[in-house]
């Protein structure tokens, strides 16, 4: 059974109020064509889980700028002044998570762990409202797993089975997010018949659908 779908079929799977993990680092390794189509359709009240807020006109930042998101869980928003303005105006619920902690929370969501213990954020504003656990006299924060309804990945190559390869830094959060969502859609730049097993970075078992990138 082919996993290939078109951009319209992919966007039809995204509904108001969903939680969406979006791979990428400042839109590198993001499913930018799908993101643009979601913004154009005007889907609302999304919870975005991503590394950063990208830019107002690109990547996940476009969803923020277009008012599609009610909440964003990210490690950095400094590149997107619209996100900062919305945070200050209380029109976007923003949860800032240290980058390494964000990656671990996503990984925990993907592998079924109850959370991760970390010293990052102890005795800072980050610890507010979180459970603290002491191990051998050292205080840790319990950071709970992140899971999403949908993960949107940006990959370089896919084969017909849905195995994925990422070139360079486009790999970033994508493999982790592939494990931590109920539905996984990958936007790919290139399609091949088969990938060698040693080339695969995200196995086909984690990928539900493939969309070919629309180059403008």
Q: Is 135 helix (H, G, I), strand (E, B) or coil?
A: strand
Q: Give domain status of residue 188, yes or no.
A: yes
Q: What total of structural domains would you count in the chain?
A: 1
Residue 215 has pLDDT above 80, yes or no: no
Q: Supply angle C-alpha 153, 150, 35, rounded to 5.
A: 55
Q: Give domain status of residue 155, yes or no.
A: yes
Q: Give domain status of residue 165, yes or no.
A: yes
> Range of 185's domain?
7-112+146-212
Chain centre distance of CA 39: 16
Q: Give domain status of residue 90, yes or no.
A: yes
Q: Read off the pLDDT of residues 19-39 as tens digits, 9 standing for 90 and up.
A: 999 999 999 999 999 999 999
Q: Read off the pLDDT of residues 153-188 as tens digits, 9 standing for 90 and up.
A: 999 999 999 999 999 999 999 999 999 999 999 999
Determine the Cα–Cα distance for residues 89 and 84; give it in Å rounded to an integer.
9
Confidence band, pLDDT 50/70/90 cuts, at residue 216: low
Q: Give domain status of residue 33, yes or no.
A: yes
Report the pLDDT value the prediction gives residue 161, as an integer from 0 to 100.
Answer: 94
Determine the Cα–Cα distance for residues 174 and 35; give it in Å rounded to an integer.
15
Determine the Cα–Cα distance for residues 108 and 104; give it in Å rounded to an integer.
6
Q: Give the CATH number, domain containing residue 14.
A: 3.40.1080.10
Q: Give domain status of residue 120, yes or no.
A: no
Report the pLDDT value the prediction gives residue 1, as an integer from 0 to 100.
Answer: 72
Report the pLDDT value the prediction gives residue 119, as an integer from 0 to 100.
Answer: 96
Residue 132 has pLDDT above 70, yes or no: yes
Could you count the other beta carbons within 10 Å of the beta carbon of residue 19? 18
Report the pLDDT value the prediction gives residue 214, as an integer from 0 to 100.
Answer: 77
Determine the Cα–Cα distance for residues 140 and 132; give it in Å rounded to an integer.
6
Over range 97-110, report the average pLDDT.
97
Q: Give domain status of residue 140, yes or no.
A: no
Report the pLDDT value the prediction gives residue 98, as an integer from 0 to 100.
Answer: 94
Residue 120, by phi and psi: left (phi above 0), alpha (psi -120 to 50) or beta? beta
Q: Are 23 and 173 in contact (CB under 8 A)?
A: yes
Q: Supply angle C-alpha 116, 119, 125, rounded to 5.
A: 105
Q: Read off the pLDDT of residues 44-75 as tens digits, 9 standing for 90 and up.
A: 999 999 999 999 999 999 999 999 999 999 99
Over range 204-214, report the average pLDDT.
94
Any idea what DSSP says for residue 184? E
Q: Give domain status of residue 126, yes or no.
A: no
């Amino acid at each position: 059974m082919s996993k290939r779908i078109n951009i319209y079929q992919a966007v039809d799977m995204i509904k108001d109020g969903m939680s969406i993990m979006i791979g990428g680092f400042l839109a590198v390794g993001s499913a930018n064509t799908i993101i643009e189509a979601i913004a154009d359709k005007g889907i609302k009240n999304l919870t975005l889980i991503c590394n950063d807020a990208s830019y107002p006109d690109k990547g996940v930042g476009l969803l923020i700028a277009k008012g599609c998101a009610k909440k964003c869980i990210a490690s950095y928003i400094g590149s997107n002044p619209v996100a900062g303005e919305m945070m200050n105006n209380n029109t976007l619920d923003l949860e800032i998570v240290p980058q390494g902690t964000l990656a671990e929370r996503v990984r925990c969501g993907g592998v079924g762990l109850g959370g991760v213990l970390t010293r990052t954020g102890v005795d800072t504003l980050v610890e507010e409202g979180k459970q603290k656990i002491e191990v051998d006299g050292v205080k840790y924060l319990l950071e709970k797993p992140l899971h999403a309804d949908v993960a949107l990945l940006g990959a370089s190559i896919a084969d017909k089975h849905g195995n994925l390869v990422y070139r360079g830094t486009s790999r970033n959060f994508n493999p982790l997010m592939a494990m931590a969502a109920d539905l996984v859609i990958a936007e790919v730049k290139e399609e091949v018949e088969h990938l060698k097993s040693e080339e695969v970075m995200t196995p086909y078992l984690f990928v539900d659908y493939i969309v070919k990138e629309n180059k403008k």
